[in-house]
Structure 1
Amino acid sequence: MRSSAVAVNGPHQQAGQDIWAGAAYDGETGSIAAARAFTADFLAGVTGGRAQPIPAVVVADAQLVVSELVTNACKFAPGPCALNLEIQGTDLVITVWDTDSSMPLARAAEPGRIGQHGLEIILAVCEGFDVRREPVGKRIKVRVALGA
């Protein structure tokens, strides 16, 4: 299956501003792996204002969240999706835009259910969760703590 980043920007930082990077994907299945790799590469290149690299567990959590968000975009939204990563203070802000205006809903816990646990995972890992309808589609923004 074909997938490629349509456009990639970053990481960028201007004096006094946060570090950010963004990518747009074609919505094909390969977009998920590309977004995970983009996230790992972004976090490897920044320290979040600290002397130490971002902990591996935080990188893994961020990749998991990105994977869940981009997977949903690829499965349920026709066409492209966009990913923005930004270091804001001690948090990584992950924003995913897709073309589907349907709002995600967390389902009640069902231990026997196979699949559809993505939003539960995101809510467990993230410090904040916000979803907004856009003129086209929706934008989901989450915060992941970078650690001590």
Structure 2
Amino acid sequence: MSQSFAARARDDVADLIHRQAPRTSGRVIDDALLVVSELVTNAVRHGGGIAAFAPIIRGNRLVLHVADHSEQQPVSPDRTPEWPAEGGYGWSIVRNLADSVNVSRRPQGGKDICVALSLLGHGGTKAAEMSGL
């Protein structure tokens, strides 16, 4: 289920960017779609499922709202020999590519994650550090 919802979410965000911010670079779009995939997949795997997904463009920023059914805060586990090398990168990827991340509790239960990404590519110091540039 997360695969199909993640694919739909990526398609929706790509369409939104192409319609409302057509001059956005391919690298910025790729980063945005990676963040969408990680947020949606984490909500399904660790958050009890998607409660809401709302992407919007506000000025030169893509704002992603993802709500799930868990009040547990996302974590980026420390890598240790005992910790498996598979998975666990999603939240770190989101935090490193985003210009801002806000996690809040929903009154009806669960949490809302709001992530903003620059469509101009100026948030690139984090992305460049991640890619080793």
Query: Is the structural similarity TM-score above 0.5?
Result: yes
Within the alignment, does 1:146 sit opposite 2:116 as a pair? no
For residues 68-107 of structure 1, the C-alpha deviation after alignment (integer angstroms, 9 at most, x for no partner) is: 0000111123344321112222211111011111111222
SS of 1:45's partner is helix
| 1:55–1:105 distance in 2 versus 1, CA, 3 Å | same
Q: Kindly state the Cα deviation for residue 113 of structure 1 after the two structures are TM-superposed.
A: 1.9
Tell whether the 8 Å contact from 2:47 to 2:72 is kept in structure 1 after alignment. Answer: no
* Structure ranking higher in helix proportion: 2
Structure 2 unmatched runs, 5+? 122-133
Q: Kindly state the Cα deviation for residue 110 of structure 1 after the two structures are TM-superposed.
A: 5.3
CA RMSD of aligned residues (A): 2.0
Q: Distance in 1 between matches of 2:119 and 2:28?
A: 6
For residues 30-66 of structure 1, the C-alpha deviation after alignment (integer angstroms, 9 at most, x for no partner) is: 111111111111111112xxxx521111111111001
Q: TM-score, normalised by structure 1?
A: 0.71
Q: Distance in 2 between matches of 1:63 and 1:81?
A: 19
Q: Distance in 2 between matches of 1:109 and 1:124?
A: 17
**Which amino acid counterpart does residue 42 of structure 1 have in structure 2?**
L
Q: Distance in 2 between matches of 1:33 and 1:124?
A: 22
| 1:32–1:110 distance in 2 versus 1, CA, 3 Å | farther
**Which amino acid counterpart does residue 130 of structure 1 have in structure 2?**
N
| 1:119–1:29 distance in 2 versus 1, CA, 3 Å | same
Q: TM-score, normalised by structure 2?
A: 0.78
What fraction of aligned residue pairs are identical, expressed as a percent?
A: 33
Tell whether the 8 Å contact from 1:29 to 1:74 is kept in structure 2 after alignment. Answer: no
Aligned residue for 1:116?
Answer: 88
Q: Distance in 2 between matches of 1:56 and 1:103?
A: 31
Tell whether the 8 Å contact from 1:58 to 1:146 is kept in structure 2 after alignment. Answer: yes
Q: Kindly state the Cα deviation for residue 147 of structure 1 after the two structures are TM-superposed.
A: 1.1
Q: Distance in 2 between matches of 1:37 and 1:45?
A: 12
* Number of aligned residues: 118
Q: Distance in 2 between matches of 1:45 and 1:109?
A: 40
User: What does 1:1-148 correspond to in 2, within 5 Å?
Assistant: 28-47=2-21, 53-109=23-79, 113-135=85-107, 136-147=109-120
After superposing on structure 2, the runs of 4+ consecutive aligned residues of structure 1 that deviate more than 4 Å are 109-112
Structure 1 unmatched runs, 5+? 4-27
* Structure ranking higher in strand proportion: 1
